[in-house]
Structure 1
């Protein structure tokens, strides 16, 4: 499977990435088929030298079936070469697990219930129950302890 991805270069703490087409089984910085551009994260976003893309070759490889990684897809989306990926369809993170989905449903359910409650109250007003008083308990004075026989 072909991937359009970043290949890291540069020195320690000074990254520089090449945008390449490579087989997905090859190592990140290993053998690649063709270089399609570069990305320099150390430059400010306002500088045009930060990102360079060969648009003709990128469209060629996408037509050939190469899939861009998430980071490269964002670059391509900004350059109008491919659709911008949605945050929810992140293949790395995926959907929340079962427990998290249940918590989301539970958190949304109370918000929906009060909207329906006023409609039922308006249709059939219910008489308020009389307040119930708590039963009174008699307080006993503490009894003096009897002396113990030895």
Structure 2
């Protein structure tokens, strides 16, 4: 599931980020987004999988994802991982379930009932996540500017 969020009236944030180098601004936004996604990952942790927040997809996931990433966009993904730290390719079978499955011979091999863990976590934390993101972006901007000021003072002395 991909969701785009646009914060209206955030001109001050945009101006503050525009005053930074692109890589620095992306780091600020990435750190703030990670903190805002933690409640979703925490609530989804009741699943049989380890839930991770990552900025990169596995090659398999990347082939299926939309190609809407640009140089100035920041995208983070929250979802199940397997024991080796890769995307769990069978997690969707637990999340969405399966219909009845049969062999060619007609033998019934079962069905998996849906046991959603990501969607309820997302729905529960969507509004909270936006509030956390607003606060954390400003916090990260202030921390970044303070670090830059300390570096400049250290270089000047």
Q: Structure 2 length normalisation: TM-score? A: 0.23
The structure richer in strand per residue is 1
The structure richer in helix per residue is 2
Higher gyration radius (CA) = 1
Q: Structure 1 length normalisation: TM-score? A: 0.24
**RCO higher in structure (CA 8 A, sep ≥6):** 2
